[in-house]
Amino acid sequence: MKSIDRSEIVPGSSSTCPECQDSYNIRPLYDDETDVEETNEAMEERFHNMIMEQEVIDEGVFSREPCDLCNSYLGGNRYIAHQLIDNVRYHIEMCVDCLLLIGGMS
């Protein structure tokens, strides 16, 4: 098993991550009057603002799925984070123990 470099892990949701957009139901807005769909950039900025305004709060979700980092099978809250491996970003969900280990809890 590959050891985990914690510096590769960024806790929290991301406006540019398709899976985060999915889980927060972020979709481009469509303007009926002008027939124009919101650009990706505008959508990302809007989502980023939602995170800043704490409209999107990652309080963790109870799950019995294993933690993506330590493979703990203990049921508990899972928190969204992203891991960079070879410049590819992976959407992961980790347990509270891992979150504390990487210092993601303030």
**Smaller CB separation from Zn ion, 48 or 91:** 91
Q: Cα(84)–Cα(45) distance, rounded to whole angstroms?
A: 22
The most distant pair of C-alpha atoms in the chain lies apart, rounded to whole Å, by 54
Distances in Å between the Cα of 6 and the Cα atoms of 1, 64, 104 are 15, 23, 11
Q: Does 19 bind Zn ion (CB under 5 A)?
A: yes
Q: Is there binding between residue 69 and Zn ion (CB under 5 A)? A: yes
- Stretch of 32-40, 47-55, 56-64, 92-100 lying at the interface with Zn ion (CB under 5 A): 92-100
Binding residues for Zn ion, rule: CB under 5 A, are: 17, 19-20, 67, 69-70, 72, 91, 94-95, 98
